[in-house]
Amino acid sequence: MIRSILLAAGLALLSLPAVAATQAEAEAALAAAQTAEADALAAKAAWTTTEADLTKAQKALAAGQWDQAKAAADEALTLAKRSVEQANEQKTSWRNAVFR
């Protein structure tokens, strides 16, 4: 009995941080995503989906929805990084696709 209560409490604790993002966390996540996207734009490698997630994050932040803001910013960060990786990888591998 006690064991299962403890287990439930532990599970609740584990899932807590994911639910409640603070304003500071959301702002930090957005800043990180914006930095990564600036790199992608500079490399002319940006994706429209990253831009859309950034807009979503900014709107949520302005509305005080920290959780949604952080989630969208985290997603934008992932996409921005992947877009830069794609561009770096293609710098050499495009040659394999050339029709000769």
Binding site residues, other proteins, CB under 8 A: 41, 44-51, 79, 83, 86-87, 90, 94-95, 97-100
Neighbours of 40 (CB within 10 A): 22
73 neighbors 30 (Cβ within 8 angstroms): yes
Residue 19 Cβ, how far from other proteins at the closest point, in Å? Answer: 28
Q: Which of 69, 71, 75 is nearest to 51 (CA)?
A: 75
Nearer residue to other proteins within complex by CB, 19 or 99: 99
Residue 27 Cβ, how far from other proteins at the closest point, in Å? Answer: 24
Nearer residue to other proteins within complex by CB, 69 or 79: 79
Residue 41 Cβ, how far from other proteins at the closest point, in Å? Answer: 7
Neighbours of 41 (CB within 10 A): 15
